[in-house]
Structure 1
Amino acid sequence: MEVFQPKKEVLSKEGFLGFSHPGKEFRFDRVRLISELLALGHSKITQSIAELVATEVEKEISRCKIEFLSLELVSELVAFQLHELGLVRLKNSPVLHAAQNENNPFPEKDESLNPDLLAVMALQKESVQMAPEKAPLKSVRIVPEFGEEGTQYLLQHVLLANGQNAVRETVQECFLRVARCVAEGEARYQPISVLQEIEDKFYAMMARGEFLPEISVLQNAGKPGSILISSFSFSVDNSIDSVFETMKEAAFVHQNGGMCSFNFSQLYPKENGLSPQGFLNIYHSVTSSFFNKHPVSAAFLPVDHPDIVELVKAVSQKHSTNLRLTVGLQDSFFQELNRDGPWPLVHSQSGKPVKMTKARDLLAVFVDAILSGAKLDFVFMDKFNSLNPVASFGSYQTVGVEGDVPLLHHEAVPCGAINLSKFVLEGQFSWDALAETLFLGIRFMDNILEVASYPRPEFKNTASAFRKISLGLAGFADVFSGLDIPYDSQEAVDLASQIMSFVQRKSQEASVRLASHRGVFQKFTDSWYVHHGLKRRHSLITNLFCTDALASIWGCTPGLEAQVPMASLQGQLALQAAVEEHVEGLVYKKILFDESTKPEDLVFALLQAHRYGLRHLCFAKQETQKWFVRSIKKIVDDQMGFSKEYSYFDVPEDGTY
């Protein structure tokens, strides 16, 4: 069999990829295919993309056991892979060759991407078959059974009521409503007859207590135009347009049952314009006028913002119980802590220091706020943003309202969790059953992205571009108890790491499987997954968000929390670090302390969390105890070495300290 050599002209009327004599056959040459793809001059076809396409084409050829190839077959295989990556659109003919376009057989896509890259994939690929038509299943519905606390929570917060606030649906009807709504997300990819089967699977998974979506889905699924995602992110700058547009969008989110998380890093210091506290004052005034209360909200502020102390003290006040503040800590902040150095507070626009303080003084303020009961948590910025798979579109701007989901500007991520306690059977952990639930749960959340409504087009565009989902877990401590493993032990740490590693691996496999039917996320070619050859449906999957509400329904422990406090601070941090190693996003773990906890314990926990390389740290006190900033500053100094009193002062004009 003749093996044709490529002509010098990469693109010609005679053939694709330089092969002349259409109709002749040849053997596959991976190196040459990569070279010719790069020579196409497509701005998005990088070395990594070319290698990925060649690998997928080679897999398909190997799968079909084809030794000799026709030009038409290679053209179709390559075109299909480029289409799958969102770089071209398939023409009416399944065979794309150079004669269709004498300049470029694979023109670049325009910037207005399709809502989904692979809506037609199942019709094009031989290995993926559409499900056959079948009659709807007439299955016997499982009756959900929850404990008294779970039933009460559903009655008070979830089940639909009539105009007189009388409950008008059962738990079973609620789950049927949710399953039916979410199953409609299959309509683009499956025959209508299959939707009933998927609905039954979704319902059974919830009724068995194995999986539940976040509360907003349970409350709003099936209501026209209702929001199914709880947290929406906004980055606010100092322009009047930005401030009042954000106010309007946030009010609409609250009106529809959502919550808002704001990034204030671009707001000016209070001396130069609208400060973070000034924004919150206006925001609370506006929203409380419409909703008769302060809506649950969150704010993010870096530790080098001039108003950081003012905002931390504000969230320490009793009237700020509906506001959570996340402080972004850089590695350089911990360096200054270690050497007791000065810490610059910089102007958001000029980037120049406007005030100086001591890093240890700031740490003392943080510890005092935590001990006073403030909703204050921390993100370790360098580690946090180093794991952003789509960093080319910007760094993470904030986290969810519970401090638990990493978010870009104008982003909202659907959340759902698995109840691990359901997979301990007769002293054994059921890995196979967990794997099945993982796949179905990820499919459930992918469907939420299809059926969800958004308050603004920007949120929908971001969701379509990155298709992030947040898969959480609850019941770790119940698993330990069911297997007779002490919570505060190395054995528990090892098992938690093993479970999370399994969840991460199987979740990624599920996302790849979904991508083979439904397509990769739109911005896949600009993500780091290209370099790893992982054709995923979602840019983010595993993210252990706050599952307190879902755990109340299930009657299990939320997330990584213990059944009976208190585990040691060291043990709690070690457990979080072991799990976070296998998580793509954040791990929401409340580091619990009680009235016996001393300030130096919290200082130790914060420093140890940074040493462990954690991305997120959240404290939760059990009982109130008042400490004073001045005494805490002395404790911080005692923990880290002697320091003189060091307060704010203006930066000298010469820029020296």
Structure 2
Amino acid sequence: MKLSDNAKITLAKRYLMKDAGGGILETPEQMLKRVAANIAHVDCLYYGKSEEETQKIESSFFEVMNNLEFLPNSPTLMNAGREFQQLSACFVLPIEDSIESIFETLKHMALVQKTGGGTGFAFDRLRPAGDFVKSTFGVASGPISFLKIYDSGTEAVKQGGSRRGASMGTLPYDHPDIVDFVTCKESDLDITNFNISVTVSDSFMEKVRGDDPDPDYYLVNPRTKNPHIDPETGNLKRMNARGLFQLILERAWRNGEPGIIFIDRMNEFNPTPHLGKYETSNPCGEQPLLPYEACCLGSINLGLMVNSKIQVDWDRLRKVVHTAVHFEDNVIDASQYAIPQITKMHQGNRKIGIGVMGWHDMLVRLGFCYDSIKALKLAEKVMSFINQEAKKKSVELALKRGVFPNFKDSIYDTGKEEDRVRNATRTTIAPTGTISIIAGASSGIEPYFSIAFARKNVLGGIDLLEVNPLFMEIAKRDGFYSMELEKRIVESGSVQNDKQVPEEIQNIFKNALEIDYTWHVRHQAAFQKYTDNAVSKTINLPFNASLKELDEAIKLSWKSGCKGITVYRNCSRASQVLNIGIPGKDESLKTPIIPKINGTTKKNCPECG
């Protein structure tokens, strides 16, 4: 494996097997052999392949991982062939409106998270604070109180000794406690293990945009399923859609939360509506799931899918997609789940999520600017190809292994041979945090956050400084590299307006904060068009971005077909994972003064000027 120093650190810290004293017991290649052997054995164990055939399959699995063309989600790399053998990344656990259910789900959360899984929760069914509790003749404490309990539980469970748990908490726009939910992460120190998102309907967005002349709507008590009666006034409680949307904007502007999930859009593409509706997603929003569902993910390194003729290598990409689908279908059978309900749902729908990383790397190798129509057209072409090939391979597997057990009455139950798939979903765009570090690839479909940056505290307190290796390669190849140039990039994180860097190179190496937010949203929409599940994408904005820009970004994402959106204004939190330049170089980057909404205490971010 061609690994960077940061990749080696990441593997040693999180992935490689260790003895009781923390000594490393395997090399990266041995890790991949462990994983490949474990996943390939499924062909022999369940599908009648001979030892010789299984060995060939194992070799193909090892090859795509060793070449860094494809990597599965972290739990597979960590756990395959080991004690836990829990290999999926994403889970959704249901919470019913009772103390018994709330704390039973809390236990299930702990069991899932200790093996490396991320969990999503819809707090939709919990009665609002102050509501009547018949069994005790008391009053309910409301969903936010239990969200905080779940957050504390997540803090206490370290996933497999490798990574801290992560969760998603959602509440619908018409829940009586929605205002308290939107504002519950007032400080960076509040509810630190949860991402939160508001689930909104199309009718809500129509009211926000003014398409519906009545901007108000009733809040609904989930206990009674009727409009909520305000306990103070005795009146039916109504909410102004534009007012709530403005509050969401202000909170997201301050610290990036809450995000928004377009729940009707997600359910429009639910492959098994006969089993229920989507209510929430996994922690990063890319995987809508039914209660007790899971999904195993894996990502293809697009930066390696460019041939010597500076063209997309479609044959190589096809081969990797087919291998990845086979691999992930095997993962479902190889995995041991924390509770039987998850086993039943995941094996019943057999959802997998093949995604991508290295998208900006591919664009650079082709000479395309991220903020260009050419890039958007290629995004659609590449993801359409991946989606089609993934479905073809799933149909091929179904001929040999059978369709997924819950196939009847699904959207694929059409009577057409080309719809008889093995997997209810095949594609997902994940954020690829640590596996993109291992692969030396740009993360997911994101533009480069910076040409040089520090990842803060990602490995138990270790900071990783990264200088874009592709830029360094091109600078040395084209003869404009110098130590002085590298020093300037490390300090600024940018190559824009650097006279030593050719203009065409500056253009293809714009970073996330130098690309207008509309291009961020349009890239998300382009990939979403051909993705079964959803797309994880952060709409990164500079420190001085306005509320109007956030407003327009969210409305554009809904209008253009995205299933959700997360916006983040740089330096809007006292601590963030990715930081431009040298750690500690400017203390104000660590503790920025956040300007008030009304602008009375405006202070410019050092990065933005």
Q: 2:430 and 2:116 mapped to 1: Cα distance?
A: 19
Which residue is 1:163 aligned to? 20
Which residue is 2:180 aligned to? 310
| 1:213 aligned onto 2:80 | no
Which residue is 1:330 aligned to? 201
Assess if the C-alpha contact under 8 Å between 2:120 and 2:168 holds in 1. yes
| 1:620 aligned onto 2:568 | yes
Assess if the C-alpha contact under 8 Å between 1:476 and 1:560 holds in 2. yes
601-610 vs 345-354, which deviates more?
345-354
| DSSP-derived class of the 1:530 partner | coil
Assess if the C-alpha contact under 8 Å between 2:355 and 2:428 holds in 1. yes
Query: Which among 332, 341, 345 is matched to residue 219 of structure 2?
Result: 345
Q: 2:330 and 2:96 mapped to 1: Cα distance?
A: 34
Which residue is 1:473 aligned to? 356
How big is the shift at 1:496? 0.7
| 1:430 aligned onto 2:287 | no
Deviations 1:216-250 (A, max 9, x none): 11111111333211222112111122112112211
How big is the shift at 1:290? 6.1
How big is the shift at 1:289? 5.3
The residue identity in structure 2 corresponding to 1:179 is: A
Query: Which among 124, 128, 131 is matched to residue 265 of structure 1?
Result: 124
Which residue is 2:606 aligned to? none
| DSSP-derived class of the 1:582 partner | coil
Q: How does 1:283-294 map to 2 (within 5 A)?
A: 283-286=150-153, 288=155
Which residue is 2:444 aligned to? 559
Q: How does 1:52-63 map to 2 (within 5 A)?
A: none
Deviations 1:181-217 (A, max 9, x none): 1111112111233221111111111000100000111
Query: Which among 164, 171, 184 is matched to residue 301 of structure 1?
Result: 171
Q: 1:356 and 1:314 mapped to 2: Cα distance?
A: 21
| 1:376 aligned onto 2:258 | yes
CA shift in 2, pair 1:410/1:438, >3 Å: same
Q: 2:415 and 2:430 mapped to 1: Cα distance?
A: 26
Q: How does 1:540-551 map to 2 (within 5 A)?
A: 540-551=425-436
Which residue is 1:200 aligned to? 59
Which residue is 2:297 aligned to? 415
Q: 2:430 and 2:306 mapped to 1: Cα distance?
A: 22
Query: Which among 420, 424, 427 is matched to residue 535 of structure 1?
Result: 420
CA shift in 2, pair 1:626/1:360, >3 Å: farther
Assess if the C-alpha contact under 8 Å between 1:395 and 1:408 holds in 2. yes
Q: 2:157 and 2:364 mapped to 1: Cα distance?
A: 47
| 1:459 aligned onto 2:342 | yes
Q: 1:333 and 1:193 mapped to 2: Cα distance?
A: 57
Assess if the C-alpha contact under 8 Å between 1:225 and 1:453 holds in 2. yes
Which residue is 2:405 aligned to? 522
Q: 2:558 and 2:91 mapped to 1: Cα distance?
A: 28
Aligned pair count reads 489
How big is the shift at 1:631? 7.7
**Can you give the 5+ residue segments of structure 2 that lack an aligned partner in the other structure?**
132-139, 229-236, 449-510, 573-592, 601-609
Q: 2:129 and 2:267 mapped to 1: Cα distance?
A: 28
The residue identity in structure 2 corresponding to 1:439 is: H
How big is the shift at 1:281? 2.8
Q: How does 1:633-648 map to 2 (within 5 A)?
A: none
The residue identity in structure 2 corresponding to 1:305 is: H
Q: How does 1:562-601 map to 2 (within 5 A)?
A: 562-563=447-448, 564-565=511-512, 566-601=514-549
Which residue is 2:36 aligned to? 179
Deviations 1:64-88 (A, max 9, x none): xxxxxxxxxxxxxxxxxxxxxxxxx
CA shift in 2, pair 1:163/1:394, >3 Å: same
Query: Which among 363, 368, 392 is matched to residue 245 of structure 2?
Result: 363
| DSSP-derived class of the 1:325 partner | strand
Q: 2:40 and 2:258 mapped to 1: Cα distance?
A: 38
* Structure exhibiting the larger radius of gyration computed from Cα positions: 1
440-449 vs 561-570, which deviates more?
561-570
Q: 1:462 and 1:289 mapped to 2: Cα distance?
A: 27
How big is the shift at 1:528? 1.1
240-249 vs 312-321, which deviates more?
312-321
| DSSP-derived class of the 2:12 partner | helix
The residue identity in structure 1 corresponding to 2:221 is: H
Q: 1:345 and 1:582 mapped to 2: Cα distance?
A: 35
Deviations 1:104-156 (A, max 9, x none): xxxxxxxxxxxxxxxxxxxxxxxxxxxxxxxxxxxxxxxx1112222221122
Query: Which among 370, 374, 379 is matched to residue 487 of structure 1?
Result: 370
Assess if the C-alpha contact under 8 Å between 1:315 and 1:323 holds in 2. no
How big is the shift at 1:286? 4.5
Q: 1:214 and 1:285 mapped to 2: Cα distance?
A: 25
Q: How does 1:102-113 map to 2 (within 5 A)?
A: none
Q: 1:231 and 1:370 mapped to 2: Cα distance?
A: 24
How big is the shift at 1:536? 0.4
Overall identity of the aligned pairs, in %:
29
| DSSP-derived class of the 2:300 partner | strand
Assess if the C-alpha contact under 8 Å between 1:316 and 1:375 holds in 2. no
| DSSP-derived class of the 1:526 partner | coil
**Can you give the 5+ residue segments of structure 1 that lack an aligned partner in the other structure?**
1-143, 633-657
CA shift in 2, pair 1:333/1:444, >3 Å: same
Assess if the C-alpha contact under 8 Å between 1:368 and 1:628 holds in 2. no
Assess if the C-alpha contact under 8 Å between 2:558 and 2:564 holds in 1. no
How big is the shift at 1:287? 5.0
Assess if the C-alpha contact under 8 Å between 2:172 and 2:178 holds in 1. yes
Q: 1:449 and 1:478 mapped to 2: Cα distance?
A: 30
Assess if the C-alpha contact under 8 Å between 1:418 and 1:472 holds in 2. yes
RMSD of the alignment, in Å? 2.0
How big is the shift at 1:469? 0.4
Q: 1:535 and 1:152 mapped to 2: Cα distance?
A: 43
CA shift in 2, pair 1:276/1:213, >3 Å: same
How big is the shift at 1:613? 2.3
Q: 1:532 and 1:485 mapped to 2: Cα distance?
A: 42
Q: 2:540 and 2:152 mapped to 1: Cα distance?
A: 33
The residue identity in structure 2 corresponding to 1:552 is: I
Which residue is 1:30 aligned to? none
TM-score (norm 2): 0.77
The residue identity in structure 2 corresponding to 1:325 is: I
Which residue is 1:94 aligned to? none
TM-score (norm 1): 0.72
Q: 1:525 and 1:289 mapped to 2: Cα distance?
A: 41
Q: 1:288 and 1:612 mapped to 2: Cα distance?
A: 37
Deviations 1:359-392 (A, max 9, x none): 1221122112212224432211221101111111
Q: 2:414 and 2:39 mapped to 1: Cα distance?
A: 33
